[in-house]
Amino acid sequence: MRFCRMHWASILIAAGLCVVSFGQYEEDEDMYWLHHYLRSQSSYYNYLPFYEEEGPPYPYIPAEFSNPEPIPESVSRECPQECECPPNFSTALYCDSRSLRYLPFVPSRMKYAYFQNNQITAVQEGAFDNATTLEWIALHGNQITSEKMGKRIFAKLKHLERLYLDNNNLTKMPSFLPRSLRELHLSYNQITRIPANALEGLENLTALYLSHNEIHDIAASLKGLKSLILVDLSYNHLRKVPDGLPSSLEQLYLEHNYIHSIPDEYFKVAPKLLYIRLSHNSLTSDGLSSNTFNTSSILELDLSYNKLQKIPRVSTHLENLYLQGNQINEFSINSFCTVVDVMNFSRLQVLRLEGNELQRNAVPPDAPLCLRHANVIEI
Ligand SMILES: *[C@@H]1O[C@H](CO)[C@@H](O)[C@H](O)[C@H]1NC(C)=O
Ligand SMILES: *[C@@H]1O[C@H](CO)[C@@H](O)[C@H](O)[C@H]1NC(C)=O
Ligand SMILES: *[C@@H]1O[C@H](CO)[C@@H](O)[C@H](O)[C@H]1NC(C)=O
Ligand SMILES: *[C@@H]1O[C@H](CO)[C@@H](O)[C@H](O)[C@H]1NC(C)=O
Ligand SMILES: *[C@@H]1O[C@H](CO)[C@@H](O)[C@H](O)[C@H]1NC(C)=O
Ligand SMILES: CC(=O)N[C@H]1CO[C@H](CO)[C@@H](O)[C@@H]1O
């Protein structure tokens, strides 16, 4: 255990591994304190999805705001009386947070239209037909139902890049979405399925937010999205992973579903995948093939709160692995390193295994050599 201590001088271990040797030293209490301190300081994930950093769309100040063009008075006066049209920002319409029950008309010059946090229930056919230059539409935080949303309302918006429809009462995917879309926000609705062709042709779609719906079927609708980087399908009713991933995908969020298995070589088609969240599903070790997660691009993998009996094999490039709350009863070092020597080792930094069926002495003696970059291991 001296070896262990010398080589893992900076390692924090909750129980097991080096606890015996720590017990012999006076710093025992300091280590305990430090461990708890670091845990309370660090967020659950080491990586944040980069889209989350952007914050809400309002207030949004595009480039022209700081360099306003003079607007003819006749144009600037054309503003729905319920809304605000700042004279120095001619292309933005602010109608948010004013208890509106209907959608005001949108003057034709607008690029940005904000209707969020009202009580709008319907968006009638033709609502945006005079404003084909729209680039952003914010309709989140309303009560729009699929029955009262025109089927072709977005169809003519050839420049629409961001559409916010989260926190509404939608039960179906909006149809005829313009191909120019880059971000589609549909979280917190009651959508039950994504038809196979619902996202067809959205060649520029980069981020798709569908969390907190009731989706049980997504078919192969993601497959052809050649620019998709992030898809969030967490908190839905999926029993299986989507059929086929786009090759551009970097972030896949599937936590809080009912997924029990993953097909062979499933992640091989997405060689840029960095972050996978699959916590709170029903995955068993039998539902995984031996190399499902052994894909060298993955840096962070969350498999916590499933029904895994074994530590799945992972690539030596993986940096964060969350496995807490499973039924793992064996610490298999082969899951991290097939060969252990001076040249072959795992890049794993954080490994969480608490809430499993592991014995305190389950860690094999050659673990420090394989997991030499680890700085947090919790058992
Ligand atoms: C634009 O007008 C608003 C008031 O309508 C003002 O608060 C803001 O500072 C102005 N911005 C610029 C860049 O002139
Ligand atoms: C579109 O513009 C035309 C002509 O200005 C007007 O008659 C019509 O009511 C407008 N439609 C909407 C939905 O604002
Ligand atoms: C939308 O859903 C909320 C919460 O479920 C409900 O209170 C509201 O009545 C619904 N609105 C409509 C228009 O269906
Ligand atoms: C996708 O984005 C590219 C680059 O910005 C643009 O040239 C192209 O027109 C966009 N495609 C669609 C369908 O809008
Ligand atoms: C992962 O796959 C590679 C081949 O792509 C293989 O050499 C390596 O042993 C595998 N890792 C584990 C832990 O099985
Ligand atoms: C299995 C494995 O990764 N083996 C490697 C161990 O390190 C030597 C030297 O870098 C490589 O040649 C092996 O491929």
The DSSP string of 148-193 is GB-TTTTTT-TT--EEE--SSB--S--SS--TT--EEE--SS---B
Least trusted range by pLDDT, from 7-11, 215-219, 298-302: 7-11
Enter the CATH code of domain 74-191.
3.80.10.10
- CA 178 to ligand 4 centroid distance, Å: 11
Average pLDDT over residues 212-232: 96
Residues touching ligand 2 (Cβ under 6 Å) are 105, 126, 129-130
> Ligand 1, closest atom to CA 89?
1
Asked if residue 33 lies in contact with residue 22, where contact means CB atoms within 8 angstroms, the answer is no
**Residue ranges per structural domain of the chain:** 74-191
Atom of ligand 6 nearest to the CA of 316: 3
Sequence-distant (≥ 6) Cβ neighbours of residue 57 within 8 angstroms:
114, 136, 138, 162, 164
Residue whose CA is at the smallest distance from ligand 4 atom 1? 204
pLDDT at 14: 38
Task: Tell whether the model's pLDDT for residue 283 goes beyond 50.
Answer: yes
Residue in 127, 112, 115, 123 with CA at minimum distance from that of residue 159:
112
Helix (H) or strand (E) holding 7: helix 2-7
User: Which ligand has the minimum distance to the alpha carbon of residue 335?
Assistant: 5
Report the amino acid identity of residue 376: V
Q: What is the mean pLDDT of residues 28-43?
A: 42
Q: How confident is the model at residue 344 (pLDDT cuts 50, 70, 90)?
A: confident
Give yes or no for residue 312 having a pLDDT over 60.
Answer: yes
**Cβ neighbours around 74 below 10 Å, total:** 7
Q: Which atom of ligand 2 is nearest to the CA of 130?
A: 1
Give 29-72 as a DSSP string.
HHHHHHHHHHHHHS-S-SS--GGGGG--SSS---HHHHSPPP--
The finding on whether 206 has its CB within 6 A of some atom of ligand 4 is: no
Confidence of residue 342 (pLDDT cuts 50, 70, 90): confident
Burial of 339 (C-beta count, 10 Å sphere; 0-12/13-18/19+): exposed
Ligand 6 midpoint to CA 340 (Å): 9
Residue 167 scores a pLDDT above 60: yes
How remote is the CA of residue 194 from the centroid of ligand 3, in Å?
21
Residue 74 has pLDDT above 80, yes or no: no
Q: What is the pTM of this model?
A: 0.85
Closest-CA residue, ligand 3 atom 7, reads 143
Q: What is the mean pLDDT of residues 244-272?
A: 96
DSSP classification of residue 323: -
Ligand in closest contact with the CA of 182 = 4
CA distances from 194 to 157, 162, 166, 213, 270 (A): 22, 19, 16, 11, 21
Q: How far is the CA of 179 from the centre of ligand 4 (A)?
A: 8
Look at residue 64 and tell me whether its pLDDT is greater than 80: no
Place of tokens 């620019």: 227
Report the nearest-CA residue for atom 1 of ligand 1: 88
Would you state the pLDDT for residue 316?
95
* Category of 311 on φ-ψ map: left (φ > 0), alpha (ψ -120 to 50) or beta: beta
Tokens of 256: 């809080």
- Range scoring the smallest mean pLDDT among 30-34, 117-121, 183-187, 232-236: 30-34
Confidence of residue 362 (pLDDT cuts 50, 70, 90): confident
Split at pLDDT 50, 70, 90, the class of 278 is: very high
Report pLDDT for 56. Answer: 41
- Nearest CA to 294 out of 321, 264, 316 is that of 316
The whole-chain average pLDDT of the chain stands at: 84
Task: Judge whether residue 272 has pLDDT over 50.
Answer: yes
Atom of ligand 6 nearest to the CA of 341: 6
**Higher confidence at residue 42 or residue 360?**
360
The per-residue pLDDT for 42 is 44
313 C-alpha to ligand 5 centroid (Å): 8
284: β partners: 307
pLDDT at 43: 52
pLDDT confidence tier of residue 33, bands split at 50, 70 and 90: very low
Tell me how far the alpha carbon of residue 296 lies from the centroid of ligand 5, in angstroms.
Answer: 9
Least confidently predicted of 5-14, 229-238, 318-327, 346-355: 5-14
145 lines ligand 3 (CB under 6 A): yes
Give the residue-averaged pLDDT of 193-209.
96
Q: How far is the CA of 133 from the centre of ligand 2 (A)?
A: 15
- Could you tell me the distance, in angstroms and rounded to a whole number, from the CA of residue 143 to the centre of ligand 1? 31
pLDDT of residue 50: 47
Q: Per-residue pLDDT averaged across 256-282, rounded? A: 96
Using the predicted structure, report yes or no on whether residue 260 has a pLDDT greater than 50: yes
Tell me the average pLDDT across 239-249.
96
Q: Please work out whether the CB of residue 169 comes within 6 Å of at least one atom of ligand 3.
A: yes
Which residues does ligand 5 sit against, CB inside 6 Å? 291, 294, 313, 315, 335, 338
Pocket lining for ligand 6, CB < 6 angstroms: 338-339, 343-344
